Structure 1
Amino acid sequence: MPRQRIYRSKKKLGQVPGSVIYTGEKVKSQLFLEAFDFTKDNCSETQLQSVEHVFNFKDTPTVSWININGLNHVKQIEQLGQHYNIHPLVLEDIVNIAQRPKIDEFDDYLFLVLKMLYYDNDKNIVSEQVSFILGKNYVLSFQESEGDVFDTVRDRIRHAKGRVRSMSADYLLYTLIDAIVDHYFSVIEILGDKVEDFETAIFSNEVEEDTSKNIQDLKREILRVRRAIFPLREVLNRIEKNDNNLIHPKTLTYYRDIYDHLVQVSENIDIYREMIWSLMDMYMTSISNKMNEVMKVLTIMASIFIPLTFIAGVYGMNFQHMPELHYKYGYYIVWGVMVVIFAALLYYFKRKKWL
């Protein structure tokens, strides 16, 4: 029975633009709110109990990072959007996890969508949408659930490592994006190891029955990573070329550094993409060579036994007038001829290097 293709519509037909409808699968995740509010000399870290507590960080003179986990809590996200004057279409994009990495510019904030990639404990790739809103002195980040790649950023804020505590919110956004891009390198490294393992197995003829399926799965992983990474180059380009006063000119150098990293990651993705196609060709060639070896053995065996079968067939006929049948040494002579033919054919095949 043919497999049915399942179509999943991420946006319902006829839906009113700006409708905040969560399209993910983690519908039971808890709402988790954390806030880092800091200056060069002080830092406070708070786990907020309700979305109303986030409202206090909008107009403070300090730099604030508010991380919201739980996109299924759309009512709280709408309340947050109303207080921070976030456009309804932006709220819709935040909870629609099928968004392509992009950037939208508004008068008093920037909206960015990225894909956070990492491998879980079972070596399965995880792709999670992360949305950022950069304001004058704050950064709002939205995630589907707990668990991210920002632990190094949290540690730098807590212990005043690097420049993050002495810079403005645009630099904070840079550190968050940089943490995501750094994990792209970890994902690329694992993909590279997988490609090399397959290449070694195919060259050493250690392929298994499910090798073809595993190569196809790896190809899908590479394409999934490529779809998450390539559009981000356009996002960084627009940040570099925009004249929005939310990103200071001295911070653009750091964003250019992220762009350089993305170029490096993209080049590696293209290399592995070409290699995976080559691996499939190598695998099919290996299977074909094995089949050729089998066919060669069968052909040689058939070539040896065809003349022997002919002789046995001739003298196996039941005609009465066959002189050789009554010869005293006829049986031994036929056996001798068969052995000579067998040895001659083996010698001929070895001379031809077919054996």
Structure 2
Amino acid sequence: IIEIHDYSNTHLDITKIDSIEQCKPYVNTANPTWIQVKGLHDIEFLKQLWDEFDFHPLIQEDILNTTQRPKIEDYGEQIFMVLKMLYIEDNVLQQEQVSIVFTEKFIFSFQESERKIFLPIKERLAIENTRMRKGGPDYMSYALMDNIIDYYFAVLEDLNEEIENIEEDLWSGEDSNALSSIHRIRRQLLQFRKSIWPLRDSINSLIRDESPLVKDETKLFLRDVSDHTIQIADSLDNNREMVSSLHDMHQTNISNKMNEVMKVLTIIATIFIPLTFIAGIYGMNFEYMPELSWQYSYPIAWFVMILVTIGMVTYFKKKNWM
């Protein structure tokens, strides 16, 4: 699916196309034009599009390679961005590569799926006399990037909530699945960090560069995005420390439960030591044992063993061992 958004302060034309011929009228347009491509499966169509707009060969290669690290590269007349769109689905952190290319007049965005990730941008673009409509391709590229970063905050909030739930389960003792949840969150935080950490350095590099495609006014907004990436990276580091603490807490809970089991078994074994001793004495096969001929020897033996048991249990409770 390809949507073309040709816009100015007072003009907005949105067109869906299915052939390269329909793109040609926009090649010489004077207005900024955002060309949104959803889906990377039709390679032949993409190559025709790239040839029509003279894409750099390395950019073409990187767009199709969806395992790229986040980065921003300046190719002179084209600036290329690779971002990772993150979202949580069925407790699994999913990612989708989004590539953005902008020139003096055009903005291209390429995404793997047809998810409506840029719906907020389209809603802002529909309003006249806004910075979005007045801005050029550099501002639109910033807005697309900022929109993706906003999704990062939503994912971060979901992860924070899950970490809090795990902590509550550990404190309440309902932690049967805590270990698997902790390992899953740890992997997701690592995956998240790989998506945000390179982007921070790339944005700062773009701000420092003297590219004619990026206006000074837009660089101010890019600094705001850079601050957001730093904030997210710091939050991820804090969350990783919290997850490590939760792992230690879980291990401590397991050790405490094991100690409780060993404590109970030790008390039981200790109680049976004198009982075993008494039973062992009267189980010996000596010929002369006067007690064996007494009429009440059997109930007396039971009475002594019960009395010993009660005495030991009482002693253990006074010592707070039970």
TM-score class, shorter-chain normalisation, is: over 0.9
Q: CA-to-partner distance for each residue in 1:87-137, whole Å, 9 max, x for gaps?
A: 2221111010000001111121101100011234x3432200000111001
Runs of 5+ in structure 2 lacking a partner?
none
Matches within 5 A, 1:172-251: 172-208=140-176, 210-251=177-218
Closer, same or farther: CA 124–160 of 1 in aligned 2, 3 Å: farther
Matches within 5 A, 1:1-355: 32-120=1-89, 122-160=90-128, 162-208=130-176, 210-355=177-322
Amino acid aligned to 2:39 = G
- 3-state SS, counterpart of residue 97 of structure 1: coil
Quote the residue 1:3 is aligned against: none
Closer, same or farther: CA 319–162 of 1 in aligned 2, 3 Å: farther
Q: How many angstroms apart in 2 are the aligned matches of 1:223 and 1:60? A: 44
Query: Which deviates more, 325-334 or 185-194?
Result: 325-334
- 3-state SS, counterpart of residue 127 of structure 1: strand
Amino acid aligned to 1:262 = T
Quote the residue 1:4 is aligned against: none
Shift of 1:161: 6.8
Q: How many angstroms apart in 2 are the aligned matches of 1:132 and 1:339? A: 82
Q: How many angstroms apart in 2 are the aligned matches of 1:86 and 1:111? A: 10
Q: CA-to-partner distance for each residue in 1:229-248, whole Å, 9 max, x for gaps?
A: 11110111111101000000
Shift of 1:193: 0.3
Closer, same or farther: CA 52–42 of 1 in aligned 2, 3 Å: same
Amino acid aligned to 2:28 = D
Quote the residue 1:23 is aligned against: none
Q: How many angstroms apart in 2 are the aligned matches of 1:141 and 1:291? A: 56
- 3-state SS, counterpart of residue 126 of structure 1: strand
- 3-state SS, counterpart of residue 40 of structure 1: coil
- The structure 1 segments of at least 4 consecutive aligned residues displaced by more than 3 Å after TM superposition are none
Query: Which deviates more, 311-320 or 285-294?
Result: 311-320
- 3-state SS, counterpart of residue 77 of structure 2: coil
- 3-state SS, counterpart of residue 115 of structure 1: strand
Does the 8 Å contact 1:116/1:128 carry over to 2? yes
Does the 8 Å contact 1:33/1:51 carry over to 2? no
How many residues of Structure 1 are paired with residues of Structure 2 in the alignment?
322
Query: Which deviates more, 246-255 or 50-59?
Result: 50-59
Q: How many angstroms apart in 1 are the aligned matches of 2:257 and 2:296? A: 45
Q: CA-to-partner distance for each residue in 1:38-78, whole Å, 9 max, x for gaps?
A: 00001011111213323433331101100111212111221
- 3-state SS, counterpart of residue 317 of structure 1: coil
Shift of 1:263: 1.0
Q: How many angstroms apart in 2 are the aligned matches of 1:256 and 1:79? A: 35
- 3-state SS, counterpart of residue 203 of structure 2: helix
Shift of 1:285: 1.1
Amino acid aligned to 1:159 = I
- 3-state SS, counterpart of residue 3 of structure 2: strand
Higher-helix-fraction structure = 2
Query: Which deviates more, 177-186 or 303-312?
Result: 303-312
Does the 8 Å contact 2:170/2:178 carry over to 1? no
Amino acid aligned to 1:97 = T
Q: How many angstroms apart in 2 are the aligned matches of 1:145 and 1:345? A: 71
Q: How many angstroms apart in 1 are the aligned matches of 2:91 and 2:147? A: 20
Amino acid aligned to 1:332 = P
Q: CA-to-partner distance for each residue in 1:158-210, whole Å, 9 max, x for gaps?
A: 223731001111111111001000110000000000000000000110112x3
Does the 8 Å contact 1:219/1:276 carry over to 2? yes
Query: Which deviates more, 110-119 or 160-169?
Result: 160-169
Query: Which deviates more, 169-178 or 318-327?
Result: 318-327
Q: How many angstroms apart in 1 are the aligned matches of 2:76 and 2:28? A: 16
Amino acid aligned to 1:113 = V
Does the 8 Å contact 1:54/1:66 carry over to 2? no
Identity among equivalent positions (%) equals: 41
